[in-house]
Structure 1
Amino acid sequence: MIRFDMSAVRHAARTTFRLAMGGLLAAGLAVGVQAQDRTAISGTTVSLAPLKGFVPSTKFAGLENAEAKASVLVVELPPEAHPQLSTLFTNLETAKTNFAKQNITIDDAEDIDTAAGKGRILTGQQALGAATFDKWIVLLKGAKTVMITVQAPDDSDLDGDDIVAMLKTVSLGAEPTIDQKLAALPFRVRATEPFRVVDTFGGLGVLMTSGPLNVDSKGSQPMLIVTYQTGGQVAAGQLAAAGEKLLSTTRGFEKAEITKRDTVTFAGDKDGVMLSGTTTEGTTRKRFAQYMGLGPDGRFVRMIVSADESSYPSLEPAIKTIADSVAFAK
């Protein structure tokens, strides 16, 4: 499950690391190389020659192999993220320490040559529930900072050498347009003035704001994030509890005061949940709302928005319009 740090979103370097780590937790996994056929990962700069059995995912930016229960997840971050992540990837002990916080055990690190240039790959495992997955995580630099995670059950027939060979075929092209990125998301959403789209991230989420700044280090502008959950599932009737838990673990909202709990229609779910209330960021008191809607497969879409108490009322019509536009992609 990907968790979003509202204050980190306003700090490019910090945001990149947290979103990347969140992407690692959610990564499904992929497998079998057909070097003659290259596949472009929709909404990203990445193309690669996938292993046999891997097809483009409709749930995230990457590939899936349903039979092998494996996936390839592509997370693209601002170029400013590369120095920070490079430090993490270069030093094996640092990588072990930091990835352990995400319940990922790193065993090895090595440099590899890819079609996109030099890359650094980490290999390890992650326990997810009762299952254990092997992981290959590669960091590359192009127009964006690119992190690709391959994940497969440890008892699968996938060969590690084949997976590394697949990752060596990665090439990086031009950055897609915002419209192309939005079209590649596993949900649909439309910005409404005064909100505008800043960017998408990880093929799973979109960031909007109102105001002139894209990187708002002081948190002075309203922020709105919509994201799709890829890891784990929520049972019917458990969405409200899951929403409160998510909110309490989102940086900046750990001590949020929930003043209202509503059942709403969101992302096509007539039993969607909206939590609203107040939180404090630095010395500024803000109002927030969090919407969640459950899909037929137990996955959900989450929208969270915050703004200064004084400006929030004027934004409510736009917030509702944006919330009403959210729908799972067909």
Structure 2
Amino acid sequence: MKILTAAAFGLVLSLQAAFAADPVFPPASRLGLVPPPDMILSKRVSGFENEERAAVITFTELPPGAFEQLASGLNKDALRKQGLELISRENVKLGTGSSGVLVSSTMTKPDMGRKWLLLVKDEALTGLVVAQVIGGRDGYSDAQIRTALKSVALRHDVTLEEKVAALPFRVAETAGFRPVRVIAGTSVLYTDGPKDMIKAVEQPMMIVGASRQTPPNSDEQRKQFAQAALYANQVIKNVRIERSDSFRLRGQDWHEIVARAVEADSGQPIVVMQSIRFAGDRYVRMVGLTREEQRDQNLPRFRAIADSVEPKF
């Protein structure tokens, strides 16, 4: 009886070990891995983190055709421009039959530390998995991080609804728009019309996205920040700002811009509304685009969407 009990106990332990080795997938992510010890799912990003060890692993999903271009950029000179010193680069085989390129590097700026980049090649997507440990070697060892990265697995059954639900914000009022795409787990594209792929702003659309970048503090700095973000938008050109206002709403600071512009590829005249909601050390940016002749119809709808966005952080 004792032998049976010991055997049963051993079986339980072996089963627990097997289950522990299964990949863990962040909400709505098609990428997952077996995390290093004591790393937990992050509430801030799509990935895992351990704050005490200043360590984080993040996932980004990109189109399948992006792999070759990104892989060609994982070289010593390109990485150095990003503040990274290349230690090693190797081709790897992953557990689910996918292949990838794994780069190990040290961080030289703005923070000292170590960074690993895994580029995953799959017919359904290109995955970018980034692991980072700030400071010295009291976080995780190179072997621990590399083992975790090589355990990356893919799944292909994540719905658009799951991806929207996992975003770091909630959109309570969609004003007749519908989501068509979630980008990098932080942004969502809405449109009103039958097409999911929109060219030349043939349908009105709005992108809502959260950022982990720390925003400026003063109203004047936020105004400059907001205008720079608008001018950097490569979808539009010939931007002419009509108004650029800072205000407070529901206890938080906002900056909003309404501008005329031209759609870059087609030359179609459009109107842009950009609203940025500052929430502590992060912000949510909302950009609505509509054809000029539909301005009066769609600007109030963009405003309704922006007012309803509630950050989860």
TM tier, smaller: 0.7 to 0.9
Distance in 2 of aligned mates of 1:265 and 1:97: 45
Distance 1:174 1:94, change over 3 A: closer
Counterpart CA distance in 1 for 2:92 and 2:143 is 12
Select which of 269, 276, 287 maps to 1:292.
276
Matches within 5 A, 1:243-282: 243-253=226-236, 255-264=238-247, 268-282=250-264
- CA distance in 1: counterparts of 2:157 and 2:83, whole angstroms: 32
The offset of 1:159, in angstroms, is 1.4
Partner of 1:56: 41
CA distance, structure 1, for counterparts of residue 217 and residue 137 of structure 2: 27
1:303 aligns with 2:283: no
> What is the aligned partner in structure 2 of residue 136 from structure 1?
116
Question: Matches of 2:208 and 2:43 in 1, distance apart?
Answer: 17
Q: Displacement of 1:96 after TM fit?
A: 4.3
User: Is 1:119 equivalent to 2:103 in the alignment?
Assistant: no
2:8 aligns with: none
Q: Match for residue 130 of structure 2?
A: 149
- Contact 2:102-2:118 within 8 A present in 1 as well: yes
Cα RMSD, aligned residues only? 2.6
Q: 2 CA distance for matches of 1:99 and 1:223?
A: 35
After TM superposition, give the deviation of residue 156 of structure 1 in Å. Answer: 3.9
**CA shift for structure 1 position 126:** 4.4
In the aligned structure 2, how far is the partner of 1:35 from the partner of 1:240?
49
Shift of 1:74: 0.7
Q: How many residues align?
A: 289
Match for residue 26 of structure 1?
A: none
Q: Does 1:324 align with 2:307?
A: yes
Question: What amino acid does structure 1 have at the position aligned with 2:117?
Answer: I
For 2:152, the aligned partner's letter is V
Residue identity in the other structure for 1:287: V
Quick check: 1:108 aligned with 2:88?
A: yes
Note if contact 1:88-1:95 (Cα within 8 Å) is conserved in structure 2: no
- Evaluate the alpha carbon distance shift between residue 136 and residue 124 of structure 1 in structure 2; reply closer, same or farther with a 3 A threshold: same
- Counterpart contact for 2:23–2:153, Cα < 8 Å: no
| Counterpart residue identity of residue 286, structure 1 | I
Q: String of CA shifts for 1:255-299, please: whole Å, max 9, x gaps.
A: 522211223456x55321111111122422211111111113x11
Cα distance in structure 2, aligned partners of 1:191 and 1:99: 42
Offset of 1:98 from its aligned partner? 4.8
Instruction: Provide, for residues 145-196 of structure 1, a one-character-per-residue CA deviation record: whole Å limited to 9, x for no partner.
Output: 2211111225242212211100111111123112211121111114625421
Q: How far apart in 2 are the matches of 1:105 and 1:220?
A: 45
Shift in CA distance, 83/151, structure 1 to aligned 2, threshold 3 Å: same
Query: Structure 1 residues 177 and 53, CA, compared in 2 at 3 Å: closer, same or farther?
Result: same
Contact 2:252 2:279 in 1 (8 A): no
Q: Show CA shifts across 1:211-242 (max 9, x none).
A: 33222344433231111111334335443332
- Residue aligning to 1:20: none
Contact 1:233 1:299 in 2 (8 A): yes
Question: What amino acid does structure 2 have at the position aligned with 1:67?
Answer: E
- Alpha-carbon spacing, 1:202–1:308, altered in 2? closer, same or farther (3 Å): same
> More relative contact order in 1 or in 2 (CA 8 Å, sep 6+)?
1
> Secondary structure at 1:256's aligned position in 2?
strand
1:186 lines up with 2:168 in the alignment: yes
Q: Which residue identity is paired with 2:278?
A: L
Kept in 2: contact 1:44–1:175 (CA 8 A):
no
Aligned-residue offset at 1:83? 3.1
Q: TM-score, normalised by structure 1?
A: 0.78
Identity of aligned residues (%): 25
Structure 1: give runs of 5+ residues left out of the alignment.
1-33
